[in-house]
Structure 1
Amino acid sequence: MRRHLTLTARLTLLYTLVSLAVLLGLGLFVLRATDAHFVELDEELLRDKSRLIARLVAQSRSEDELARHLDHLLSSHEGLHAELHDRGRAVYDRDGLGLAQAVQRLQDSGPPFEWTRDGRTLRALQFPLPASAELGGGRAFVLTLALDIGHHQHFMQSLTRSLTAYLAAAAFVSGLLAWWAARRGLAPLREMKARAQRVTARQLEHRMPVQDVPVELADLAQGLNTMLDRLQTDIERLSQFSGDLAHELRTPISNLLTQTQVALAQPRQAQAYRDILASNAEELQRLARMVSDMLFLAQADHGLALPRPERIVLAEEVRALFDFYEALAEDKGLQLLVEGDGEIVGDRLMVRRAISNLLSNALRHAWPGTAVRVTLEERPTDCVLTVHNQGPDIEAQDLPRLFDRFFRVDRSRRHGQSEGTGLGLAITQAVMRSHGGHASARSGQGHTAMSLHFPRSQPPREALT
């Protein structure tokens, strides 16, 4: 497979081509300007000679005398040729080059007239001369002057060769300078590459330089640093999650293994086996809930979509959950209250699960004889559902981690003392993120409040059931 050119090679090639194009254009301009200057000089020379010949014609008393004057004039200027005609008759034609005929053929091209004959290139102009009283009884003449421009052509060829050699040398030097400039200009990219190669799963502290790079690369460096920050945060969370998961699974598996080994150590009565199996079933149910919750969170991490969005009246959902938790509330002497109203768009089962997790948590930690109160508030930007309970305060340093997976405020609690898996609030946060909102908590002075913030934005009407 053909390898792609490096950025240094591309910049070098581009700069060299641009320089070559500029120099080539400059060379063509010089050649055209020089050639135009030679044409201007030749025309001026021919016009000057035509004025001189006009005076000679006016002063000559015979054609022979005129011929002698013209021979003397032409011999003093190498490469100059002249023909003098009178109504188609050649009055003077020393060289016999047929200048008038050649000019006649080139009338369409316009002056000055150029053609090549016998290896020589001639440039000619034609001039009408005034009638001469002394020569031919006042006849009018037509003068054709031509100049051999071979010396100009030799100069142009030499100039072209010189410019070509200079162009090749300049292109080579431009290429070297372009390579040096590209290497120097791309040095920050090489530094960023070296730092990126040092980044591993165990060494995520390396960051791209931002202050010492050009402005064009500063945004790229900042973007890469932001990406590395996210990766470091995600890897730290994944590492912590893996440790928490191993710790959470170890206890029920150890319980199952211990009880099974004890049951098999010696023969027992059927009732004893039934009790052991019932205990194992509880641990297995706990494992099943944990696996189900982990599957739900894994789907949420990959952008959990709302399977069935619909309009939900939150007060109705809260009252339906009150009916489910009424027996538990009566056992602890708790009162269930709901205030306000609100309407959102979301998946009913997911929203009910999020509210249920908050209610279960509030009932578990509320002081007996108090009330668990649910308030609903519609704001311009969101709809807020808050579950209030009176109970032990949550430390301020624990509040930011309250919705993390497997996080428990009371780390000394054993699994046997808690029915939860440590994933309820994490699932609540995942549900809220899937709805475009978030969950929050505050605690102090014996009062704890956990809130669900639902955005007021509505999905397309056709998505609603």
Structure 2
Amino acid sequence: MKLSGMAESLSITKRLTILYAVSAFILLAISVTILDWALVNDMEFEDNQFLASEIQDIRLLLKQHPDEIGAWKKAIERETVASASVYLKYYVRILDGSGVPLVETAGMSEHLKQSSFPVPGDSGYPLEKGVKMQTKEGRPFLLMSSRVGPDPAGTKEKYIQIALDMSHEDAIIRGYRRKMIVILIAGVFISAMIGFLVAREGLRPIKDIARSVQAIGPDRLHERVTSRHWPREVTALARSFDEMLERLENSFTGLSRFSADLAHELRTPINNLRGEAEVALYKARDASEYRQVIESSLEEFDRLSRMIDNLLFLARADSRDTVIACSPVNARKEVEMLLAFYEALSQEKHINVTCKGDAVLSADPVLFRRAVNNVLSNAFRYTPENGAIEIEIGAQDNGSVRIRISDTGIGIEPGNISKIFDRFYRTERARDQYPEGSGLGFSIVKSIMDMHGGSLSVGSEPDRGTTVTLIFDGSRDKPDIAEL
């Protein structure tokens, strides 16, 4: 757990540096191992070739000078002494068939016994590879032997033993390995340093993006990170930051507009309350006049209360934790009950109201009535005398339920349709015709439809009317209409 925690706390630069160092160590270690293996094998091959060549020369000597031990001795001493040096030193021994030494390089018996050599094969040729051994003093030797068989000319059986002193080669290999270890350590260190520099330089664009984002404050949300040229690998990150900044900018703009609209909407009733209070206090009045002031104040209080209730509802609707209690709702019955509430107003303004179709849907009954009522309220409010309002209810092929409410009211400019869902937004014509409104009606309807997983659309033409379509999701289980 501690190691994993430490690994997670390491920066990306440090992690990449460690990976570079480990990778370099593995590659260099493999390379050094292969080179060491190749060097040792090449030297062993050369040594075996040398001993085999010397044995062949001795066999030729024995063939040319059979039983001339003096000649053998002179030739062997000449070869071994002439070639003896710090870099090359070898010993030769010739034995008769009984194993009695006939000729031997001086000092050979002190280091190498006859029994130390490998037994030669019957073929008479030397072994392909010699045998390594180490003396008590720690000197390494490569040993090889060969048998010289008797021939028809009368040459007797003999044995050749030859040994190569490998002390110098061992020293070379040890020195080489020490150098390789130094190179390995230095290579890993240099690779780690280069990896650190490369990682830091490679991650610089991310740090630049971080600095660019940190420099953007609430007053600079219009700036964008992708205004600079970034490497392809971080372009997606920069684009994501820009999308986030755009959302933040829209949120801040909406919040600022919401605050301004809220202040404007609250200013009117508060100014009305203050003005009435100041007038009432300007001079002494009778009870009826004070009563009128209080009744007028209550109307403003009621307007403020409705506004606060609507704002609280929208706040709860925006919360993801809000859960609605759905149940089967007969849309036709609910709409007819709401129309009954507006019957007096429709008769007063001579508005022709028709309701067609029938359907059952699954929804929160209270929220359903509130959504439909807000749309009907706008329809009756902005439809002039002798106008018409038509409600169509019907189920669609995908199981959803559509409620379409059309009126012949003042309509909405095409450029303003997308804005009517903003809180407190009202068109100029709406403010002039009905100044008491708050501009929260469509915001509430949209929130209710979102809570039900449905949709809301508005189509309108100025001076010709508006059509509002509510579509409730058909994925919820609904009973047959005959059951309600």
Percent identity, aligned pairs only, is 27
Match of 2:238 among 218, 221, 225: 221
In the alignment, which residue of structure 2 is the partner of 1:53? 58
Following TM superposition, by how much is the alpha carbon of 1:228 offset from its aligned partner in structure 2, in angstroms? 0.7
The residue identity in structure 1 corresponding to 2:66 is S
Rounded to whole Å, the distance in 1 between the matches of 2:295 and 2:242 is 53
Identify which of 63, 69, 89 aligns with 2:99: 89
SS at match of 2:460: strand
Could you tell me the TM-score, scaled by structure 2's length?
Answer: 0.81
Which of the numbers 452, 459, 473 marks the counterpart of 1:442? 459
Deviates more, 1:452-461 or 1:95-104: 452-461
Quote how far apart the aligned CAs of 1:125 are.
Answer: 4.1
Cα distance, 1:348 vs. partner? 2.9
Partners of 2:331 and 2:361 within 8 A in 1: yes
Residues of 1 paired with 2:409 and 2:299: CA distance? 28
Once residues 360 and 55 of structure 1 are traced to their aligned partners in structure 2, the CA distance between those partners, rounded to angstroms, is: 126
Determine whether 1:80 maps to 2:97.
no
Would you say the 8 A contact 1:311–1:346 is kept in 2? Answer: yes
Q: Which amino acid aligns with 2:244?
A: M
Determine the C-alpha separation between the residues in 2 that align with 1:222 and 1:306. Answer: 35
Aligned counterpart in structure 2 of residue 182 of structure 1, from 179, 183, 199? 199
Q: Does 1:37 align with 2:42?
A: yes
Q: CA RMSD for the aligned pairs? A: 3.6
Structure 1 counterpart of 2:125 = none
Tell me which residue corresponds to 1:131: 149
Counterpart position of 2:308: 291
SS of residue matched to 1:47: helix
Measured after TM superposition, the shift of residue 427 of structure 1 is 0.6
Q: Would the alpha carbon gap of residues 457 and 91 (structure 1) be closer, same or farther in structure 2, given more than 3 Å must change?
A: farther
**Aligned partners of 2:331 and 2:358 also within 8 Å:** yes
- Mapped contact 2:143–2:161 kept (Cα < 8 A): yes
Q: Is the 8 A contact 1:432 1:439 kept in 2?
A: yes
- Kept in 2, the 8 Å contact 1:366–1:390? The answer is yes
Counterpart in the other structure of 1:365: 382
Question: Given the alignment of the two structures, is residue 421 of structure 1 paired with residue 438 of structure 2, yes or no?
Answer: yes
Q: Cα–Cα, structure 1 residues 459 and 214, in superposed 2: closer, same or farther, change >3 Å?
A: farther
In structure 1, distance between residues paired with 2:478 and 2:227: 43
Q: 1:183 to 1:244 in 2, by over 3 A?
A: same
Q: Which runs of 5+ in 1 are unaligned?
A: none
**Equivalent in the alignment of 2:297:** 280
* 1:357 shift after superposition: 0.7
Q: TM-score under structure 1 normalisation? A: 0.84
Cα contact 2:51–2:144 (8 A) shared by 1: no
Deviations 1:333-375 (A, max 9, x none): 2233222344544333222211111111111111223331112
Cα 1:86–1:230 change in 2 (3 A) is: farther
Q: In the alignment, does 2:423 pair up with 1:386?
A: no
Q: In structure 2, how many angstroms separate the alpha carbons of the residues matched to 1:263 and 1:187? A: 70
The alpha-carbon deviation at position 138 of structure 1 amounts to 4.6
**CA 1:316/1:73 → structure 2, altered by over 3 Å: closer, same or farther?**
farther
Distance change (3 Å), C-alpha of 1:102 and 1:454: farther
Shift of 1:111: 5.4
The alpha-carbon distance between structure 1 residues 157 and 276, as it changes in their structure 2 partners (threshold 3 A), is same
The answer to whether the 8 A contact 2:421-2:446 is kept is: yes
Distance 1:90 1:411, change over 3 A: farther
Change (3 A) 1:124 1:256: same
